[in-house]
């Protein structure tokens, strides 16, 4: 059973460009979570999605950031008009159920904004 | 206030010694989880302890939870060089309903010297 897959693993963007990060949850998992980790920091919750629904996006900046989890295909975290402060590691996690969560994390996408 | 603060921030020991890391939190929880992160990699789930449990073992890992003190400890016995990593505790939001939202501390960087 493959784990959570994220791609790309490393992404370099210039200021003002768009970044698209992809996450494929573990097989059988329908709940996806995105977290951001700044250097020397712990992970910070961004958004929680189920198939075709955003459940909680309270940790996501209101502007430039969006997330989706379509019926088919991976979950996408999209950052428009990136700025240097967006440079971070973005982790996706998945779980089969909300209760007594054991969230399984992907390897992360390291975004560098030049 | 920050949930899930680990202590110490860094710990250096010799191979074969035991390593103890502590985590404190501020609000009520359903579960507390410990994760390991090797440098530049994703998070690996180590162990979950529920709020009604006091101690849990998994291989060389022993986790305790004291809900009255809002603290947890992770003990790694007979450490190995391969245990070198950052260790994070993560708590959920307890009775507030959003128990999918994990809050991480900044982690303890463990270095095991051969």
What was the pLDDT predicted at A13? 98
Q: Is the pLDDT of residue B74 over 90?
A: yes
What per-residue confidence (pLDDT) applies to B1? 33
Cβ contact (<8 Å) for B43 and A43?
A: yes
Integer Cα distance of B99 and B107 in angstroms:
20
Residues of chain A with pLDDT under 50: 100
Q: Which residues of A touch B38 (CB under 8 A)?
A: none
The whole-number pLDDT of residue B21 equals 95
Q: pLDDT band for position B5 (50/70/90)? A: confident
* A65 Cβ under 8 Å from any chain B Cβ: no
Please name the residue of chain B whose CA is at the shortest distance from the CA of residue A95: B100
Q: Give dist(CA A65, CA B94) in Å, integer.
A: 27
Q: pLDDT, tens digit, for every residue of B12-70?
A: 999 999 999 999 998 888 889 999 999 878 889 999 999 999 999 999 999 999 999 99
What is residue B20's predicted lDDT score, i.e. its pLDDT?
Answer: 96
- Tokens 């998994």 belong to B58
A53 at B interface, C-beta within 8 A: no
Percent of chain B as helix, strand, coil, to the nearest 5: 5, 55, 40
B33, B40, B101: best mutation site toward chain A, by most A Cβ within 10 Å?
Answer: B101
- Mutation for A interface: B42, B48, B105, most A CBs within 10 A: B42
Q: Are A91 and A9 in contact (CB under 8 A)?
A: no
Pair A59, A44: CB distance under 8 Å: yes
Written as six digits, the tokens of A13 are: 């963007």
């Amino acid at each position: 059973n493959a784990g959570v897959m994220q791609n790309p693993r490393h992404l370099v963007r210039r200021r003002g460009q768009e970044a698209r990060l992809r996450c494929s949850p573990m097989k059988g998992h329908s709940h996806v979570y995105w977290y951001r980790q700044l250097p020397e920091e712990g992970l910070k919750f961004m958004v929680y999605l189920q198939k075709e629904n955003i459940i909680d996006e309270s940790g996501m900046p209101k502007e430039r950031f969006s997330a989706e989890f379509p019926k088919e295909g991976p979950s996408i975290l999209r950052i428009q008009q990136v700025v240097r402060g967006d440079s971070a590691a973005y982790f996706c996690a998945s779980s089969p159920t909300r209760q007594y969560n054991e969230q399984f994390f992907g390897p992360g996408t390291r975004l560098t904004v030049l | 206030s920050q949930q899930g603060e680990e202590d110490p921030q860094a710990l250096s020991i010799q191979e074969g010694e035991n390593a103890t890391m502590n985590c404190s939190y501020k609000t009520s929880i359903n579960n507390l989880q410990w994760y390991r992160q090797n440098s530049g990699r994703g998070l690996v789930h180590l162990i979950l302890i529920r709020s009604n449990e006091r101690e849990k073992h998994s291989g060389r890992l022993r986790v305790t939870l004291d809900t009255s003190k809002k603290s947890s400890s992770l003990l790694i016995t007979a450490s190995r060089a391969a245990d070198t990593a950052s260790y994070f505790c993560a708590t959920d939001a307890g009775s507030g309903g959003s128990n999918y939202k994990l809050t991480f501390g900044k982690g303890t960087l463990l270095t095991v010297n051969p």
